[in-house]
Every structure is written in C-alpha cells, then in structure tokens.
C-alpha cells in the first residue's frame, strides 16, 4: 500500500513545501464571522490537532510542525470544528508540487456543517498519486 505524507497547512481557516512559494489567502472578515478551524482530525490516520484556533491574519502555516501519513485509495473520515454553523470545508493536496491547489485534480475532500459547529466528511488520495511528501491545504468558509 502506498503511503502519502501530507504536511499540514491549515488555512483560516488553513495549512507550506521545499522552496516552492504558496499564496497566502486574504480574508476581509478574518475569523470575525466564525470562519476559523478550531480543531482538525483524521482519526483513522492517527492525526488530531484539537486546538488550532484562529491564526494571525486568518491563516495558519503548520508545515514545519504537522505531518499526516495517508495511503492512496483509502477513504479517511475527517472532522473539523469551527466557530459558526453553515461552513464549507475543502481539503487539497499539491500533488505536482507547483505551488497551487487545483480544484479539479487536487481536491481530495470536502463537506458542509449544516446547522452545527462540526463538519464531518471524507477525503481520499487518488490511487494514481506517487508516494511522496505533499503540501496540504484545509479551508473553511461560510456557506
């Protein structure tokens, strides 16, 4: 089974690689409207960050301190707690290490919270991804 190492980059509600440059998203409202990731976990991968909170500028870079090991083609459940209901969570991995997170080829998970402060859904690394280390971005936005 191929193992994929994803280095965490929490993004506002969020999570950086090598010498590659990654954009830093800007948010007019920052975390004021509950658009922050308070905690993130992938239980079956043994990863939990229970106290992420709102980072300065509504962007947190955890590249140097957080690593998640995932296997290709396995479906993993994830849970995100946030500061407001009706949130949409998206998770990307930069599989080609080009500094962007492509919506069609690198989105590996998403989910909505509905009327709760918790989003639970699944993510999956495609079977075609070569083993390696990749940057992960997690975003949280209202509606």
Q: Please report which confidence band the pLDDT of residue 143 belongs to, taking 50, 70 and 90 as the band edges.
A: confident
Cα(49)–Cα(46) distance, integer angstroms: 10
Cα(65)–Cα(135) distance, integer angstroms: 12
Residue with tokens 């969020």: 14
Selected residue with higher pLDDT from 47 and 20 = 47
Mean local confidence (pLDDT), 68-97: 94
pLDDT at residue 5 tops 70: no
pLDDT at residue 13 tops 50: no
pLDDT tens-digit series, residues 36-50: 888 999 999 999 988
Model confidence, pTM: 0.82
pLDDT at residue 19 tops 60: no
pLDDT tens-digit series, residues 88-133: 999 999 999 999 999 999 999 999 999 999 999 999 999 999 999 9
Residue 3: Cβ within 10 Å count? 12
* Tokens encoding 134: 């990749």
Predicted pLDDT of residue 83: 84
Question: What integer best gives the mean pLDDT of the chain?
Answer: 83
């Amino acid at each position: 089974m191929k193992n994929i190492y994803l280095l965490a980059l929490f993004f506002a509600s969020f999570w950086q690689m090598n010498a590659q440059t990654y954009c830093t998203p800007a948010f007019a409202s920052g975390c004021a409207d509950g658009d922050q990731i308070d905690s993130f976990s992938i239980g079956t991968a043994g990863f939990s960050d229970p106290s992420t909170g709102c980072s300065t500028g509504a962007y947190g870079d955890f590249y140097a301190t957080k690593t998640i090991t995932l296997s290709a083609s396995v479906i993993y459940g994830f849970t995100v707690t946030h500061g407001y209901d009706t949130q949409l969570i998206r998770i990307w991995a930069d599989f080609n290490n080009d500094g962007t997170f492509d919506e069609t080829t690198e989105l590996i998970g998403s989910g909505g919270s509905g009327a709760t402060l918790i989003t639970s859904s699944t993510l999956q690394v495609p079977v075609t991804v070569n083993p390696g280390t990749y940057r992960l971005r997690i975003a949280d936005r209202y509606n």
